[in-house]
Amino acid sequence: MRIKDLGSRPAPATIRGFLSRVMRGQGPAIPVERRILPYWQEHGWTRQGTVYNGNYQTSYAAFIGYIEEHRGGHIDFYLYNPSDEIRSHSHWACFQHRGTDWYLIHMARQPRDVSSGIITVEQLIREAYEQ
Amino acid sequence: MKKLSVVVAGTGQIRDLEIQPGTTAGDVLHQLNLADYLLSKGPNEPFFAAAESVYDKVKDGEKIFASTKAEVGVLALCA
């Protein structure tokens, strides 16, 4: 005999739920509120006062960073322990060593907000790995 | 037509658009009155050039980012 009847058992709740939805048809759609978050927050950066901590993230690599917002709108972007790829980038001269492997990234053109600066640094990291 | 959501950096605001084939990054920024911004799909792809077609590069309903123009560099040292 190729098939052995092992008896029956109740279907798991997920399958029962699925079947009952199929049987009674689709209910009205429930609108879902989308979260409106700034880029820095959506990408896991945290803020304490005027200092932000997080990671510059690309598909190639992620680097620990922190950002300081100063009065008057000036923003400093720091990156920890840049890789050889970043050190080989044409903009490596714009990374100023601040001790213990922290580097201040000098901006020739200042971003107007923290999120724009993070995106700019992440673009530079991507370029460094694609060069 | 494709739907597109543009997250504006600095505000967290999301602007919903419907774009037609051939719509460029410049068209989008102009429509949103974001003259000094750049569009990107995120950190893994370069910024869109102003004349580049956004329509061809985004999926229907995709979220992209508008960030203010910034440049890493020390004027005397970096290109």
Q: Is residue A24 part of a domain?
A: no
Q: Is residue A66 part of a domain?
A: yes
B77 to chain A, any CB pair closer than 8 A? The answer is: yes
Q: What confidence tier does A15 reach under pLDDT thresholds 50, 70, 90?
A: confident
Among A13-22, A59-68, A117-126, B44-53, name the one with the lowest average pLDDT: A13-22
- The CATH number of whichever domain residue A58 belongs to comes to 3.90.1150
A-facing residues of B in 5-24 (CB < 8 A) are 7, 9-14
Instruction: Tell me the residue range of the domain where A45 lies.
Output: 39-130
Residue-wise pLDDT tens digits, A76-89 = 999 999 999 999 99
CB contact under 8 A, B71 and A107: yes
Q: Is residue A65 part of a domain?
A: yes
Number of domains in chain A: 1
Q: Is residue A5 part of a domain?
A: no
Q: Is residue A27 part of a domain?
A: no
CA distance A39 to chain B (A): 6
Q: Is residue A19 part of a domain?
A: no
Residue-wise pLDDT tens digits, A96-125 = 999 899 999 999 888 999 999 999 999 999
Q: Is the pLDDT of residue A58 over 70?
A: yes
Question: Please, what are the domains in chain B?
Answer: 2-68 (3.10.20.90)
CB contact under 8 A, A119 and B65: yes
- ipTM reported for the complex surpasses 0.95: no
What dihedral do alpha carbons A104, A53, B41, A123 form, nearest 10°?
20
